[in-house]
Structure formats: C-alpha cells, structure tokens
C-alpha cells in the first residue's frame, strides 16, 4: 500500500526496540497522527525486517523511512538494500555519509560540535541531528545555525517532551524539527499510549510552528 501525506511534519519517530510483529501497527498510529519520518535503530530486534515492512507498506515517495544507529558502511549498505531512503547516525562518520548520499539516500548524521557539523555538511549530509542536544545546548545550536549553510536543517534529539516549554526554545532559535525517542515510543507502551503521545507531539509542534 502506498500512502501519500499532505503535510511534512518535521518530527522523526525513533522506534528503538520495535519488532517486526508490531512495526506496522505502531507506524499506522504515527502516520494517522501526521508523522512521515520513521527511524528504526539498528540495535532493535530484526531491525532490517521492520524497515522492509515499512518500505513495502508506505513507499518512499512521501515518506522518510529507514534506520538509526548506522555507524559503519556495511550497515548502511544493509539498510539501503531494504529500499529505505533514510540513514540516521549517532556520530559523524563521513564515509557513511558519502556512501549513503551517493546512493540517493537522505542522511541525518549526529553532531555536537561545529567541526563535526561542517565535516558532515561537506560530506553531503541532508540535515543535521544534534545529539545529544544536552551536550550542544540552546546557545550552541543557535551559534551553529548562524554559520551553517541556510539549507541545512537542525534536528535536536534527546529528552524533547511534548510540551511547549520543551520545544519552543529550540524552534525559536532556528531548529527545523526534532527526533523523538523514548518520550514518544517504548516497547512496553500500549498502542493507545503511543497514539496519544503521537497526537500530542503533532498538535503542540503545529501550534508552535504557526505562531
């Protein structure tokens, strides 16, 4: 099934610990809430199978679907073999960035310093994941934003809650969106809890972004 979304919601759902048995049920809840970026970290059980299921179900025309915790070229190759179009890394590995970008993939590498940020940009990164944002800080993000190319979007990751006072400071300083991990999804959450959290994030982000 190919589903098309109408609005790009710049929130990346990080489904660490998801299994192939639950991926499509959880993904439907997220998609219904407006999410179109879904990341399955490679240290999740049978992560490549979950990614393949996502790609088959939704396609990559209107969705960004792929893997997180991609730390080596061989892992990136495995991800691309599923048909995924998204590679997210926890670090700045320029070899991984160049290879994935060369294969036509969107790449969000993790950075915490200006040097890492510019190395990632020069390697062809699509956007930058500021991870963990606690190490970068609001001032650090603002400073990086002021010197990076305008087309590079910043996505703080780590401890972002579905609350205006958690999201607004970063958006006001130029963040494009956020990567959402355990505050959005944990394997022991009920589908109803995931649904409510997804809706809350989408609602609060949308209200802040149109102020």
Which residues are catalytically annotated?
A: 39, 129
Please state, in angstroms and rounded to a whole number, the distance separating the CA atoms of residues 174 and 153.
8
Strand partners, 12: 37, 179
Residue owning tokens 């290879």: 99
- CA proximity to 65, closest of 54, 56, 57, 53: 54
Helix (H) or strand (E) holding 198: helix 191-209
**Inter-residue contact 144 to 173 (CB < 8 Å):** no
Edge-first strand listing for the sheet containing 37-41: 106-108, 86-88, 64-68, 37-41, 11-14, 178-180
d(CA 150, CA 128): 12
């Amino acid at each position: 099934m190919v589903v098309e979304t109408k609005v790009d919601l710049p929130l990346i759902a990080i489904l660490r610990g998801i299994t192939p048995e639950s991926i499509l049920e959880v993904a439907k809840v997220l998609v219904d809430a407006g999410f179109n970026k879904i990341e399955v970290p490679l240290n999740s059980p049978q992560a490549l199978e979950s990614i393949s299921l996502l790609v088959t179900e939704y396609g990559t025309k209107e969705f960004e679907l792929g893997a997180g915790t991609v730390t080596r070229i061989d892992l990136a190759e495995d991800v691309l073999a599923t048909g995924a179009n998204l590679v997210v890394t926890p670090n700045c590995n320029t070899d991984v960035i160049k290879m994935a970008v060369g294969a036509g993939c969107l790449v969000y590498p993790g950075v915490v310093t200006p040097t890492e940020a510019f190395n990632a940009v020069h390697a062809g990164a699509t956007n930058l994941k500021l991870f963990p944002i606690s190490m970068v800080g609001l001032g650090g993000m603002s400073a990086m934003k002021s010197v990076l190319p305008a087309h590079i979007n910043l996505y703080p990751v780590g401890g972002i809650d579905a609350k205006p006072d958690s999201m607004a400071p970063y958006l006001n300083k130029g963040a494009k969106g956020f990567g959402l991990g355990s505050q959005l999804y944990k394997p022991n959450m009920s589908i109803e809890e995931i649904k409510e959290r997804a809706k809350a994030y989408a609602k609060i982000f949308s209200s802040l972004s149109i102020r």
